[in-house]
Amino acid sequence: MQTVIFDFDGTLADTLPLVFYAFQRVFKEYEQRNVTPEDIIKMFGPSEVEIIQNNISDHEKIEDAIHSFYQYYMDHHRHLVKHSQEILDLLHYLKAKDMNLAIVTGKARKSLDISLQTLKMDSFFDVVITADDLNYPKPHPEGILKVLETLKADKNHTLFIGDSLADIEAGKRAGVYTIAVQWLSTPQTREFAIQPHQLFYHINEFIEFIDRLGY
């Protein structure tokens, strides 16, 4: 295996509780609207900026709402997102095998950078594709195909790993081996209408899978 591409939220970091919190505060403050995590998941696809642009009715308040979202996201990251040594160990393990690592996420670059820096993951990835870089969010395969093109990677030696149905569809549409994971506390999808090639519940299961491949 030469290249491993990861989703971010729910795959590399248990950031969904933070995302839910920031959106809930913004919708309460700017729309006087209470939203549940399920409501927010239904909005996923576009970046957080686009979600706010699409759902704040007073257009004059959109920029303030976006600013508030990022302020909440940054201020509450350390106590709402649990640091995972297991994830860091996994990334070290893959880099030690000289694999190219990439991220394809529906997050905007600003929130991703906050998370990568806070969680000390910012030095691992050869390519990072965010919503800011894409015309089409997952389940469209554009982001995965951009990684393959940038790295000149062989799709037959590439894995894509995610926790949502959109991830699984995107990976399979891109023609790469697609793995679903539920190894963090808050995955987006519990049951997959489109079946991944593999489903792992624990990080050590994935490491054993890589070892069995002989890399």
Active site residues: 7
CA dihedral 91, 197, 193, 111 (to 10 degrees): 20
129 DSSP β-pair partners: 104
